[in-house]
Chains A and B, each alone.
Chain A
Amino acid sequence: MSVQKPLPHDAAALHVTGQARYVDDIPVPANTLNLAFGLSERAHAEITGMDLSAVRAAPGVVAVLTAADLPHANDVSPSAHDEPLLADGAVHYLGQPLYLVAAEGHLAARKAARLGRVRYEDRPAVLSIDDAIAANSRFEEGPRIWARGDPEAAIGGAAHRIEGAIEIGGQEHFYLEGQAALALPQEGGDMVVHSSSQHPTEIQHKVADALGVPMHSVRVEVRRMGGGFGGKESQGNALAVACAVAAAATGRPCRMRYDRDDDFTITGKRHDFRIHYRAGVDAEGRIEGIDFVQYARCGWAQDLSLPVADRAMLHADNAYFLPNVRIENHRLRTNTQSATAFRGFGGPQGMVGIERVMDEIAYRLGRDPLEVRRVNFYDPPPGGGLSAPRAPAARPPEDISAKVKAGEDVSAGRRRTPYGMEVEDFILHEMVDRLARTADYAGRRARVAEWNAANAVLKRGIALTPVKFGISFTLTHLNQAGALVHVYQDGSIHMNHGGTEMGQGLFQKVAQVAADAFGVEAARVKITATDTGKVPNTSATAASSGSDLNGMAVRAACDTIRDRLAGMLAEMHQCDPADVVFEAGRVRAGGADYSFEDVIARAYTSRISLSSTGYYRTPDLTWDRIRGEGRPFYYFAYGAAVTEVVIDVLTGEYRILRTDILHDAGRSLNPAIDIGQIEGGFVQGAGWLTTEELVWDGSGRLRTHAPSTYKIPACSDRPRLFNVDLWDGENFKPTIHRSKAVGEPPLMLGISALMALSDAVAACGDGSVYPALDAPATPERVLAAVGRQRGRA
């Protein structure tokens, strides 16, 4: 079996020797031009004049293009056709590309791009959430509202009421490799594009439109990205299209990369949110009714904001049953970068909202936050069966049945999400019990309290938070994938699929699936660059769906070839094709035993096709995003984390002391790769909620546009003690080898860091002032929150 093995990343050997090529490492013809954009200096203005003579005269400049020079589509939007490649008449954010410079050398292009003289007539700029609310500046006609039951009555009639709001900042992707593209003109007007993109098909589509050619004239290749995290789902379009139009205009290869400052200034980031909440709870803290109002700052163009905002609504429940609920979500249009996909895709913001509510309920009622979370959990499946651990349960099963009995309203369904989907395999009761035990949550909570009683300057905090994350694209038609598999005469295998590799280990996992199908070792499978000429009409590698979709498509292709081989051998040996066994590089049929190579050689001379496509679409999805009803997800992935922090009450500085994680990857295709995703996801999520702060000034200029001012986690910021375990269950849905998607869900484990900080801040006061920590909880914010505890506003 190749699957379930902890094999290292497929390109690891190339990475450690510096041989792995990223887009900007591809050797290019000597006449290749480098591109740079001239950028808007205003957040919102009419362009009344543009003098580019100095740009054109600058050393090394070969061509300068403006919107008027584009012969075909001037559009790089992934959705609403509202995002011109080059500004046309008006600018909508500070940093918007105005003109395109093609020059001999990257530095020459950048220098020249700064020389344009642009006259603006300013328009009022809508920058903040408050600005946008005041101006009613939004996408869609009004807020989306989904509701169930009678939340007003439930809140009004409840024993306790909780009310508040949280600000949640955005996040820069900070993929270590900045955006990059390269276009190589071909004969007959065709174009080959190399792009650091999660979505080659969209690049192909946008380039074709910009060149005025059919999609078949454009081939896009993506071997790898130096990190994506959602930031290369749509944000690579501009560079690829720019390279293609400049290459078409000049007849020379063109390449472009954003310097880090430009990358920060031009590209979209995670949506920042403000979430208001009102909840009514019973004496134990169980929610009876809740009302959320979510405001998402979407920036100037629609991009992927609608599905991002939908996903925030879809995760407003996280792991909790909300009997009476109303969720209102505003998609605000502002004169800032167009916020875009980022690992979790709105889910994390929705989840922070409800976790904040849990934290505040516990504070107000003086209860352990974990107990409050538990009483609000969805019910386990009746009988506890669907996704129970494979191995004889480490946990005695009485816990589950006890809970089923306690929750008398089982038949009333404490299993339905606000959007009406049943949570069929809710395993967080068991997972949280196990994690609380292995991480000694209760014991450490007591010791944290002792520590805090004895120490005035350093205060500790601890929190356990769960994750339930829905897997599938919420735009249902995107849940499809294709693959192409060839077996060559010598028995070596060439595999291709529509997914892209950004470091997440997708290629290795899918190669393991292919190897498993043929009963050979993974090394026999050659993993090739994603190529729109091999597998067409692909979806972005996003929504954590990479291995689910592409793994199934590759297996379908492999199964087709294997069935042909089995049919051949069955005929030779007069046995049932189902009895032909592919295992450990051998093939056994009717008592005979062949090497895999032998079988392939025979198949070739017997004129049997050794190549096949494969296709997969996720079953059982129905979704009405306007009504907020249906089954948008194939299944849920689960996880939980306990984080302990210490803060310095004099400075607001803090450290993450320890994090313990238990995460559900189903029956993991590759435990080593999955654990890497979990560790990295947690650290990135904790970074988002603690140190990563984006600051725009009053003119709409992003002030934190470089790593000198925007702080992602360094090695010294990660937890001192970091224990990560995989839950030993399997997917109750027939996914590829019963695995679960693992790309996005672990990011939200980072919420435990924010809640631990809240706990530490609360320890500074007398229990009368809820910390109400906004995110990111920078040291400044922590210090201010400590001040509020001590009566200093």
Chain B
Amino acid sequence: MSATLPITLTVNGESVSADVAPRVPLVDFLRETLGLTGTHLGCAHGVCGACTVRVDGAAVRGCLMLAVQADGATVETVEGVSDSGEIADLQDAFHRHNALQCGFCTAGMLMTAAELLDAGGPPPERAEIREHISGNYCRCTGYQSIVDAVEEVAQARAADKGGQA
């Protein structure tokens, strides 16, 4: 049972191969083995959302998925999406709206919000934003500024698209 399994996955655009114990959650693998500490561990229960990362395009709780389950997958963390610049507008909006205080929830919140913003269709209403991020806890902000930031980006992106069409 202490045997390790070899896995190969793409993390933030780079191919990574490692031998991991079957019990190791993806978030621990990212944080401990790869040193990607931007993703946080809040509850290890799948409830708080602090550990949210993107796996094959979907927002996933890094504490509920095992590293071995990510074999062959494409994983993106807050570090990756920061480098690629794809959520620069969302990051900027979080910054300007003070959508963080202690910041511990921020990486997970960004990944979850990015998923909603990427979903396509008309820009989400506030109610939809609230619903979508209600699986991510923030103990500090009261959420108001987070919803404000996401809403602003949703509308800006929709306006951009409208302009191009």
Chain A residues engaging chain B, CB cutoff 8 angstroms:
8-9, 11-22, 24-25, 27, 59, 106-107, 173-178, 224-229, 259-260, 502-505, 672-673, 675-677, 679-684, 706-708, 712, 714-718, 722, 724
- Beyond the given A260-B45, A502-B102, please list 15 additional residue pairs across the A-B interface where CB-CB is below 8 A: A12-B94, A12-B95, A15-B94, A18-B38, A18-B82, A173-B139, A176-B102, A176-B104, A176-B137, A176-B139, A224-B103, A679-B144, A707-B47, A712-B137, A714-B135
Do residues B139 and A17 form an inter-chain contact, with CB atoms below 8 A? no
Residue B110 at the chain A interface, CB threshold 8 Å: yes
Interface membership of chain B positions 39-62, coded 1 if the CB is closer than 8 angstroms to chain A and 0 otherwise: 111111101101000000000000
Do residues B48 and A715 form an inter-chain contact, with CB atoms below 8 A? no
Residue B146 at the chain A interface, CB threshold 8 Å: yes
A8 to B95, CA, bound (A): 7
Q: How far is the CB of B66 from chain A (nearest CB, A)?
A: 13
Do residues B40 and A226 form an inter-chain contact, with CB atoms below 8 A? yes
Which of A27, A706, A714 has a CB less than 8 Å from the CB of B43? A706
Do residues A679 and B145 form an inter-chain contact, with CB atoms below 8 A? yes
Do residues A680 and B40 form an inter-chain contact, with CB atoms below 8 A? no
| Contact partners of B44 in chain A: CB under 8 A | 259-260
Which of B48, B77, B98, B102 has a CB less than 8 Å from the CB of A8? B98
Residue B138 at the chain A interface, CB threshold 8 Å: yes
Which of A16, A25, A502 has a CB less than 8 Å from the CB of B91? A16
A9 to B99, CA, bound (A): 9
**A503 and B101 in contact (CB under 8 A), knowing A707-B43, A715-B130?**
yes
The chain A residue with its CB closest to the CB of B107 is: A18
A106 to B27, CA, bound (A): 13
Which of A17, A59, A224 has a CB less than 8 Å from the CB of B79? A17
| Contact partners of A712 in chain B: CB under 8 A | 137, 139
Question: Considering residues A9, A505, A681, which has the most beta carbons from chain B within 10 angstroms of its beta carbon?
Answer: A9
22 contacts between A and B (CB under 8 A): A9-B101, A15-B94, A17-B91, A20-B103, A107-B28, A173-B139, A174-B139, A176-B50, A177-B104, A226-B40, A227-B102, A227-B139, A229-B139, A259-B44, A260-B43, A260-B45, A677-B101, A682-B142, A683-B143, A712-B139, A715-B130, A718-B130
| Contact partners of A225 in chain B: CB under 8 A | 102
Size bracket, chain B contacts: 35 or more
Do residues A17 and B38 form an inter-chain contact, with CB atoms below 8 A? yes
The chain A residue with its CB closest to the CB of B143 is: A715
Q: Which 6 A-B pairs have the closest CB atoms?
A: A18-B38, A503-B102, A226-B104, A15-B103, A503-B101, A679-B142
| Contact partners of A672 in chain B: CB under 8 A | 98
A2 to B140, CA, bound (A): 25
Chain B residues engaging chain A, CB cutoff 8 angstroms:
2, 23-24, 28, 31, 35-45, 47-48, 50, 77-79, 82, 91-92, 94-96, 98, 100-107, 110, 130-131, 133-147
Which of A15, A21, A706, A715 has a CB less than 8 Å from the CB of B37? A21
Question: Considering residues A17, A27, A59, A174, which has the most beta carbons from chain B within 10 angstroms of its beta carbon?
Answer: A17
Which of A59, A259, A681, A714 has a CB less than 8 Å from the CB of B134? A714
Do residues B37 and A18 form an inter-chain contact, with CB atoms below 8 A? yes
Do residues B45 and A680 form an inter-chain contact, with CB atoms below 8 A? no
The chain A residue with its CB closest to the CB of B50 is: A176
**A226 and B102 in contact (CB under 8 A), knowing A18-B107, A715-B133?**
yes
The chain B residue with its CB closest to the CB of A673 is: B98
| Contact partners of B92 in chain A: CB under 8 A | 16
| Contact partners of A229 in chain B: CB under 8 A | 139
A8 to B92, CA, bound (A): 11
Which of B106, B137, B143 has a CB less than 8 Å from the CB of A15? B106
The chain B residue with its CB closest to the CB of A59 is: B2
**A177 and B82 in contact (CB under 8 A), knowing A18-B77, A226-B103, A712-B137?**
no
| Contact partners of A59 in chain B: CB under 8 A | 2
A457 to B107, CA, bound (A): 41
A663 to B140, CA, bound (A): 18
A175 to B48, CA, bound (A): 11
| Contact partners of B78 in chain A: CB under 8 A | 16-18
Do residues B37 and A718 form an inter-chain contact, with CB atoms below 8 A? no
**A718 and B139 in contact (CB under 8 A), knowing A15-B100, A16-B91, A706-B45?**
no
| Contact partners of B39 in chain A: CB under 8 A | 18
Do residues B134 and A177 form an inter-chain contact, with CB atoms below 8 A? no
The chain B residue with its CB closest to the CB of A15 is: B103
The chain A residue with its CB closest to the CB of B145 is: A676
